[in-house]
A and B are shown apart, each in its own frame.
Chain A
Amino acid sequence: DTEVTQTPKHLVMGMTNKKSLKCEQHMGHRAMYWYKQKAKKPPELMFVYSYEKLSINESVPSRFSPECPNSSLLNLHLHALQPEDSALYLCASSQPVSGFTDTQYFGPGTRLTVL
């Protein structure tokens, strides 16, 4: 089973709203990722959690707040977003091999629109 699930599939929010994106995997992976993808662009890494600890933050604005409650779950809390934050948000998971980037499996994404 190489499935990563994400909810919701679509989300529309105002600039003053607070919302959360959720991601779940049951492959026993101990590294989980958030990516942002704009139309016709590649996925851009936002955050990496390794063994439930934040290991990479690619200078993401504080209006995005990640959380990893356990080894299977990853959340992305959103607050006071801007219209330019509208994008496809992808979650991925992999095994955290030391010093090496292992295969990452992606979820279907959440299509976020900020009004």
Chain B
Amino acid sequence: QQPVQSPQAVILREGEDAVINCSSSKALYSVHWYRQKHGEAPVFLMILLKGGEQKGHDKISASFNEKKQQSSLYLTASQLSYSGTYFCGTGQGAQKLVFGQGTRLTINP
């Protein structure tokens, strides 16, 4: 079952913050976040496992609330390089990753 992402699109100025949400109607065991730039491969950002953990590197972090069956990706002080489409993927059994419909992030100078 496909997770639901919100918002579908975000436009920011450089330096502003953004939050992208990912929710599922099924129990979540793992949430995977990827960024894809136009014409390129999805690039892995981070994976969160059930247990309510929070992860981050640089100015991108994420949380995972398994009770609410949702994860959020936080982008702080956004840079131009953060532009792209962000996908969350939920692990549904061994080796099966189902992606949300994506959130298009545009960062303007």
Contact = CB atoms under 8 A, between A and B. Distances in A.
A96 B93 CA distance: 11
B64 interface: no
A50 B96 CA distance: 11
Interface of A is mostly: loop
A106 B42 contact: yes
Contacts, number: 69
| Contact-size category for B | 20 to 34
Interface in B27-73: 29-30, 32, 34, 40-44, 47
A99 B94 contact: yes
Interface residues of A, number: 29
Given A101-B30, A103-B32, A45 B98 contact: yes
- Of the candidates A33, A43, A96, A102, the one having the most CB atoms from chain B within 10 angstroms of its own CB is A43
Interface of A: 4, 31, 33, 40-45, 48, 50, 55-56, 90, 94, 96-109
